[in-house]
Amino acid sequence: MAPNSRIILTRHAQAEHNVDLDYSILDAPLTPLGKKQAESLARLVPALQAEADLVVSSPLRRTLQTTALGWAPAVERLGGLKRVLCLPQAQECNALPCDTGSPARRPRGRPGGFWAADDDSLANRARWVRRFLRGRPEKTIVLVAHGDILRQITASPGQGKSDYMWKNAEVRVFEFDPQFVDSDEAYLFQRENVAAAGGYAPTSSEIEIEETLAKI
């Protein structure tokens, strides 16, 4: 992939576990508001819809729903939902029910190693995703994923994972950093914020932290 290729990162729209901070919901789907947020992306980013050469999604329900609704013009132009590439490596960071796929969409488990939830394993998985995207022949790629893994994917040299709080149905455009595009890390840098169809909602990691602190 050329160094100036564009990676369009998108966080899923509002899902049920974002509302009540309830991560016990299995493979949490979008709320009615989340569906409206996702649908609005088609109107907010028409140029990117026309530019996308490949649409990639985490295999969880909320990301697939966001992909189908939010990137509908691109998906239809590229051949329909059957042409969307499901990428288990882009699933969320935790083994909580809300981050666990229902039987039809069950992503890989996290017994350890590559799929573990510790910082080193997550950094390695995010690195794998960046290198995968770098290796694709398409010039412009949409990736729909989750707040925690997106912070890992957008890590920067010397600072590690990003602390940016992704909004629901937010779209940001990245490119490969020319200084690192040929390295193992394949770091990205942000070109622009494009749109945010929803407000900020905590990720499952942040929900877990909040509940732990509440018990102290």
**Model confidence over 56-72: pLDDT tens digits?**
999 999 999 999 999 99
Specify the fold of 6-214. Answer: Rossmann fold (3.40.50)
pLDDT at 17: 87
Q: Residue 60: name the closest of 114, 19, 97 by CA.
A: 97
pLDDT at 213: 34
Give yes or no for a contact between 40 and 71, defined as CB atoms under 8 angstroms apart: no
Both structure tokens of 70? 């939010």
Q: What is the pLDDT along the chain (216 residues), one digit of tens a residue?
A: 455 589 999 999 999 988 877 778 888 999 999 999 999 998 999 999 999 999 999 999 999 999 999 999 999 999 999 999 999 999 998 878 888 766 554 455 555 688 888 999 999 999 999 999 999 999 999 999 999 999 999 999 988 999 999 999 999 999 999 999 999 999 999 987 787 776 666 666 554 544 443 444
CA angle 189, 193, 195 (to 5 degrees): 145
What pTM was estimated for this model as a whole? 0.87
- Within 13 Å and on the Cβ side, how many CA atoms surround 168? 26
